Amino acid sequence: MSLGLLIKFIGTIMDLLLPYILAHIIDRIVPTRNLSLIVLWGICMIVCSVICMAGNVIANRMASAVARDASRALRHDLFSRIMYLSCHQVDTFTIPSLESRLTTDTYNIHNMLGRMQRLGVRAPILLIGGIMITAHMEPVLTLIMVAVLPFITLVVFKISQKGVPLYAQMQRAVDNMVCVVRENIQGVRVIKALSKTDYERRRYEKVNEELVQYETKAGVTMAASNPLMNIFLNAGLTAVVFVGAFRVNAGVSEPGKIVAFISYFTLISNAMMSITRMFVMYSKSIASANRIGEILDATEDMEGLPQSDIKAGEPYLVFDNVSFSYNGMRNNISALSFSVPKGGTLGIIGATGSGKTTLLSLLMRFYDVNAGSIRIDGKDIRAMDGGELREKFGTALQNDFIYEDTVAENIRIGRDIPMEELRRAAENAQALAFIDAFDDGFDHMLTTKGTNVSGGQRQRLLIARALAGKPEILVLDDASSALDYKTDANLRRALRENCPETKATILVAQRISAVMHCDEILVLDNGSIIGAGTHEELLDSCDVYREIAQSQLGGVVE
């Protein structure tokens, strides 16, 4: 950037010299009628023009490169920071807002960096240098020109002062539009199935119209600067020509100086217009920069505990009187206590919204508990390093993702796992048969979200991904809902017999058949345990469990 600005500086100085040389030729050289001197000074003008042009071209190319590299680094840092935000912070910022900050806001910064390097040196030099040279040539006319500058400065300042908040509002409207677009893309099949295309189109039109209104308001406000500046500049130019004519007629000035002065006035006018455009870009980019800064400056909100003594002799996994609330007003989990012995299997069942997924989020420390503690192998998870904790888990969660890559990479997901381990995981997940049925096997390409495989095949791939890392704790959150009963039974048998490295298995399900063989089953309702025990014990002691079992298994329960 420094080198580019230096080159731009040299080119701009050459631009400033041209009217001065022209005035010298008209007033000093032409009256001598010396053709060789006229040619010599003409060549000087050509050389200055070439240096000016070359300097501007080279500097502009360098400015584009700087803006490109800086924006790339900014996007990288912003993306990295987003990946390390806690789930609570992601909920606060919202995903659509994070997407627009990573795209629209970084583009505004990119645009500002490029334009500021092009105009940020040239415009001030033309403005200040032009005033200095004209003050040397014609002090009286310079005073007339300078008299309009305070009015222009005041206009630019006042308009920019209003522009920044307007552009901030516009970016929030962009967030809303991105949110609607994202929801429609994700739910396009449901929208078509329910014939709600026209409804969603009207919903999009509403947020789009809101964005247009904010954009128009910001654009109109900032656009007022150009005509107001033109009024002051043209008034000043008129006064300069008027006074200059009287001075030439009176013999106190020379025609060449007036021609040069008008050229400098044009340069100064263009410089002022450029400075105005810079303030418009600044107003837009500062709003984006503040939004990006909120992410980059976000502090870690999940503080770890100091290393504590390991509680020996207790079960492998313990929830000790755990309570948690998303909004800090009403508990989503209340006084939850249970344990899973080493090698044990825990089933969790309950109605939608009963707290099943929240329980898993607390276990993997996506959120921190508000009260109580969660311990693994006697150690509070808040005292563990994040990487150490997450490496213990193999997860297949609700709405988990498949990305556009091969089957092997979707199971491996960036981990250094050999092919034999991938095949073993796929076999245990009951996925090996349909993978081998593909012509290219594990090299078969999957589409985004796995739309070229069935729902059951997608779930088995996700389970294979969870098993491939040989986790200590296997977490399956409704991961077998699309499997038929035979495949589900084979999966449970494989998990029980072929995964000795797994020290605890947690199954969250809506189907009784998926959890009925677990060592212990928890029945949740409104974030509390209303039943705990084996399948047979719950049939006797828990009315809710019995009702679910009867509705799903019918006469088998009787």
CA atoms in the 13 A half-sphere facing the CB of 7: 18
CATH number, domain of 262, equals 1.20.1560.10
In a domain, 387, yes or no: no
CA distances from 151 to 120, 161, 241, 430 (A): 21, 15, 20, 77
Percentage of the residues of the chain whose pLDDT score is greater than 90: 18
User: pLDDT tens-digit profile of 334-365?
Assistant: 889 999 999 899 999 988 788 888 898 899 88
- When pLDDT is cut at 50, 70 and 90, the band that residue 406 belongs to is very high
Average per-residue pLDDT in the chain? 85
Q: What is the pLDDT of residue 129?
A: 82
Percentage of the residues of the chain whose pLDDT score is greater than 70: 98
In a domain, 345, yes or no: no
- When pLDDT is cut at 50, 70 and 90, the band that residue 423 belongs to is very high
User: pLDDT tens-digit profile of 456-496?
Assistant: 888 889 999 999 988 899 998 887 777 777 888 888 888 88
The pLDDT of 82-86, averaged and rounded, is 87
The pLDDT of 315-326, averaged and rounded, is 91
- When pLDDT is cut at 50, 70 and 90, the band that residue 89 belongs to is confident
In a domain, 482, yes or no: no
Domain count for the chain? 1
What stretches of 290-409 adopt beta strand conformation (E)?
317-324, 333-340, 344-350, 371-376, 379-380, 393-396
Amino acid at 491: L
Amino acid at 544: V
Q: What is the pLDDT of residue 245?
A: 83
Q: How far apart are CA 235 and CA 250, in angstroms?
A: 23
In a domain, 556, yes or no: no
User: pLDDT tens-digit profile of 97-143?
Assistant: 888 888 888 988 998 888 888 887 788 888 888 888 878 777 887 88
Q: How far apart are CA 260 and CA 263, in angstroms?
A: 5
Range of the domain at 144: 2-296
In a domain, 551, yes or no: no
Output the CA torsion sign for 265, 271, 275, 281. Answer: positive
pTM: 0.69
- When pLDDT is cut at 50, 70 and 90, the band that residue 554 belongs to is low
In a domain, 321, yes or no: no
> Which of 251-265, 366-380, 519-533 has the lowest average pLDDT?
251-265
User: pLDDT tens-digit profile of 424-441?
Assistant: 999 999 999 999 998 899
The pLDDT of 298-302, averaged and rounded, is 80
In a domain, 506, yes or no: no
Question: Is residue 74 scored above 90 in pLDDT?
Answer: yes
In a domain, 104, yes or no: yes
User: pLDDT tens-digit profile of 493-532?
Assistant: 888 888 888 888 999 888 888 888 888 999 998 889 999 9
H helical segments located in 187-196: 188-193
